[in-house]
Amino acid sequence: MNAHGAATAMRPASPTPQTFAAALLDAALPVPPGLSAWNGSDPEPRFAVYRNNVVHSLVTVLADTFPVVRQLVGDDFFGAMARLHVVDHPPASPLMHRYGVGLPAWIAAFEPATALPYLSDIARLEWARLCAFHAADAEPVGLQALMGLMQAPERLAGTVLSLHPALSIVRSPHPIVSLWRAHQQDDAARDRQLSALCMDAAESALVFRDPSDDAVVLELPDADAPLTAAIAAGAALAAAQQAHPQADLVRVLTLLLRHGLVTGVHAPSSAPETSA
């Protein structure tokens, strides 16, 4: 074996991407074998600094995405929780606005957070706001798009609406809209609003992006939430109303049209035939 071959044989193998990524996010793991510093010094302190910077950056991303969750539990608790989540769920995309999609469900199973049963739903609401910011654009239709159908109830019944990509519905057995709104106020106003809340009062949120590119959170009457979700999922209007008789279809349609959330109206060419 020549000198080059001997040196190659003695050089430790480089770490795999999987080994490197795992060690980067978990301080309990050793420095991956095969790392070396340019000046021959111990790579462990350098790797520790790099690891801390990466984890800190990911925790900061989560803190920016879930500010109300952070306020509810405090900075220290959130930081510790977020670090554990980073280890369990490293980024799957280089696009950091997508990081955090799994945090709401992860919080629901995180035992130290069980004292705040609404925390995961607040996280779902905050994630819905982020998704609204980054959703695709779509042109709304006006009331005139439905006016002709209102003169033909049999066609209106079979109509399917396309809703804006930025729209989502978050339902919870807790007052998530009121909790979120309270945390948009100054400390004194927030504390007054929180003291008046019943934490067992169910609330539903309609989340969307308005023309000024702001993410809007509106409280949706709890009875109307499943009807709105059915329409968003592509159910015909009559079928959606029949499945959710307690909901107010006119109120839902008025709300969707007022905020420019209807982007398409797909009506049958004729009334569906009925069997005798």
pLDDT at residue number 155: 84
Q: What is the mean pLDDT of residues 89-100?
A: 87
* Residue 270 φ/ψ, nearest 5 degrees: -150, 170
pLDDT at residue number 78: 97
pLDDT at residue number 31: 75
What are the Cα distances from residue 121, in Å, to 99, 221, 232? 17, 17, 20
Under DSSP, is residue 259 helix (H, G, I), strand (E, B) or coil? coil
Q: How much of the chain, in percent, has pLDDT values that exceed 90?
A: 64
Q: Give the burial string for 221-257 (b: 16+ CB within 10 Å, else e).
A: bbebbbbbbbbbeebbbbebbeebeebebeebbebbb
Query: Which stretch of 51-55, 85-89, 265-269 has the lowest confidence by average pLDDT?
Result: 51-55
Q: What is the mean pLDDT of residues 156-167?
A: 94
∠ CA 31-32-33, nearest 5°, is 115
Per the rule left: phi > 0, alpha: psi between -120 and 50, beta: everything else, 97 is alpha
pLDDT at residue number 54: 80
Mean pLDDT of the chain: 86
Q: What is the DSSP string of 121-134?
A: HHHHHHHHHHHHHH
pLDDT band at 269 (very low <50, low <70, confident <90, very high): confident
pLDDT at residue number 12: 52
pLDDT band at 5 (very low <50, low <70, confident <90, very high): very low
pLDDT band at 142 (very low <50, low <70, confident <90, very high): confident
Q: Is the pLDDT of residue 262 over 70?
A: yes
Q: What is the mean pLDDT of residues 222-243?
A: 96
